[in-house]
């Protein structure tokens, strides 16, 4: 019998790609999603790619009763990947209670469910945001956790502490915390991808919309940083590569191979890419021009961060493999598909 995995936030950007990779790896996937920042049609895209329709519950993970009812209905579950969370840094500054409630209540409900329903493993989506402005790059998992600069970032730090504290009580399941750098891209089939609502806040969705003429031009936030070309440097990781890391993490826990009750892994490429490099590579990959202008720095931006993924390479047997050009071409194909469908 296939092992069953619950994906909270499984209709979202990273969740949907992870669903595909888990199904490809032979897992049976059950999605919990309240569709607050996603569409149910994503499930059609997943089915088109894999030929398998995941089970779906439109529930909010802050609703413990609904979560427990779904667990009861589904029978034995091997693991959870907990993506469901509010993720807009700027919004979190204006709506901190919403962020603390959504992100932490849902986590606590899922952790208690993991214990009560005898799961083997719990994967949590964390972020490189926990490192703040790092003292040196590339950043490895032992780098100090810096004070959070937004309520969103704080929810990721607190969430990591909650998981640690809960594991210390001697619960029966293991946890793996995955710290993502900057996830970008789309499935090469263009059946699933990122669906930003309103004006995109992240770089690549904005680049795609500017290239398509939906936005007049990209604003490059600062060219006076202490970097090779003056723009900020990030570690852009392909969403399919990222999704595959979740399969490795679950395999490790389901097979009982964890060395620690809580393990931490950076998920990045190990390479820093500047804003200008990303824009130029996008134009090379697609042959499409990206109109842009340089404006002032964005408040709170970190000058340079990229991860050292050796720990994930060595222990999880995972390595980022998709070249940046291919990732950018996939994102553009998805953007074109959205236009064909009249979505944007």
Tell me which residues touch ligand WQD (CB under 6 A): 89, 127, 129, 182, 201-203, 206, 218-221, 232, 234, 275, 298, 301
Q: How many residues does the chain have?
A: 344
Q: Which residues pair with 29 in a beta bridge?
A: 5
Q: Is the dihedral of CA 7, 10, 15, 18 positive or negative?
A: positive
100 is catalytic: no
Among 96, 27, 82, smallest CA distance to 55 is for 27
Minimum CB separation of residue 154 from ligand WQD in Å reads 11
What is the rounded distance in angstroms from the CA atom of residue 45 to the CA atom of residue 188? 12
- Helix, strand or coil, per DSSP, at residue 29: strand
Q: Which is nearer to ligand WQD, 56 or 236 (CB)?
A: 236
Minimum CB separation of residue 21 from ligand WQD in Å reads 20
Residue in 27, 57, 152, 225 annotated catalytic? 152
- Helix, strand or coil, per DSSP, at residue 109: helix
- 218-221 and 262-267 beta bridge pairing: unpaired
Q: Which is nearer to ligand WQD, 234 or 244 (CB)?
A: 234
Q: Residues 6 or more apart from 25 whose CB is under 8 A from it?
A: 247, 251
Q: Which is nearer to ligand WQD, 10 or 54 (CB)?
A: 10
Q: Which is nearer to ligand WQD, 109 or 157 (CB)?
A: 157
Q: How many CB atoms lie within 10 A of CB 317?
A: 11
Two structure tokens written together for 109? 């409900």
Minimum CB separation of residue 129 from ligand WQD in Å reads 4
Minimum CB separation of residue 236 from ligand WQD in Å reads 8
Q: Residues 6 or more apart from 20 whose CB is under 8 A from it?
A: 46, 49, 50, 187, 192, 243
Two structure tokens written together for 186? 């789309």
Q: Which is nearer to ligand WQD, 93 or 171 (CB)?
A: 93
- CA dist list (Å): 168 to 86, 178, 198, 270: 27, 19, 41, 31
Q: Phi and psi of 287, rounded to 5°?
A: 75, 10
Contact 92, 127 (CB under 8 A): no
Contact 318, 312 (CB under 8 A): yes
Q: Which is nearer to ligand WQD, 127 or 174 (CB)?
A: 127
Minimum CB separation of residue 45 from ligand WQD in Å reads 23
Q: Which is nearer to ligand WQD, 89 or 108 (CB)?
A: 89
Minimum CB separation of residue 113 from ligand WQD in Å reads 24
* H or E segment to which residue 161 belongs: helix 151-168
Minimum CB separation of residue 322 from ligand WQD in Å reads 18
DSSP string for 122-152: EEEEEEGGGG-S-SSSSB-TTSPPPPPSSHH
- Catalytic annotation, residues: 152
């Amino acid at each position: 019998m296939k092992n069953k995995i619950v994906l909270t936030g499984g209709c979202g950007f990273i969740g949907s790609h992870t669903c595909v990779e888990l199904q490809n790896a032979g897992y049976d996937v059950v999605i919990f999603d309240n569709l607050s920042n996603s569409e149910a049609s994503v499930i059609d895209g997943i089915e088109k790619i894999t030929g398998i329709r995941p089970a779906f519950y439109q529930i909010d993970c802050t609703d413990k009763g609904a979560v427990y009812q779904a667990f009861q209905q589904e029978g034995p579950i091997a693991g959870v990947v907990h993506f469901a969370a509010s993720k807009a840094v700027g919004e979190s500054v204006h709506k901190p209670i919403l962020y603390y409630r959504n992100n932490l209540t849902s986590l606590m409900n899922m952790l208690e469910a993991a214990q009560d329903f005898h799961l083997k493993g719990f994967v949590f989506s964390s972020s490189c945001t926990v490192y703040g402005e790092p003292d040196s790059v590339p950043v490895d998992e032992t780098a100090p956790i810096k004070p959070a600069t937004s309520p969103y970032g704080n929810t990721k730090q607190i969430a990591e502490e909650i998981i640690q504290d809960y594991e210390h009580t001697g619960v029966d399941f293991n946890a793996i915390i995955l710290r993502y750098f900057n996830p970008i891209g789309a499935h090469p089939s263009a059946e699933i991808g990122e669906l930003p609502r309103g004006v995109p806040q992240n770089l690549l969705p904005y680049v795609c919309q500017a290239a398509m003429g939906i936005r007049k031009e990209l604003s490059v936030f600062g060219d006076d940083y202490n970097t090779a070309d003056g723009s900020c440097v990030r570690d852009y990781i392909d969403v399919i590569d990222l999704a595959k890391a979740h399969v490795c993490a679950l395999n490790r826990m389901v097979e009982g191979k964890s060395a620690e009750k809580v393990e931490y892994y950076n998920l990045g490429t190990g390479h820093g890419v500047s804003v200008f490099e990303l824009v130029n590579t996008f134009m090379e990959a697609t042959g499409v021009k990206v109109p842009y202008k340089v404006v002032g720095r964005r408040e709170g931006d970190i000058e340079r961060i990229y991860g050292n993924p050796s720990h994930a390479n060595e222990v999880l047997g995972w390595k980022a493999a998709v070249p940046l050009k291919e990732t950018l071409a996939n994102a553009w194909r998805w953007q074109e598909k959205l236009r064909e469908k009249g979505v944007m």
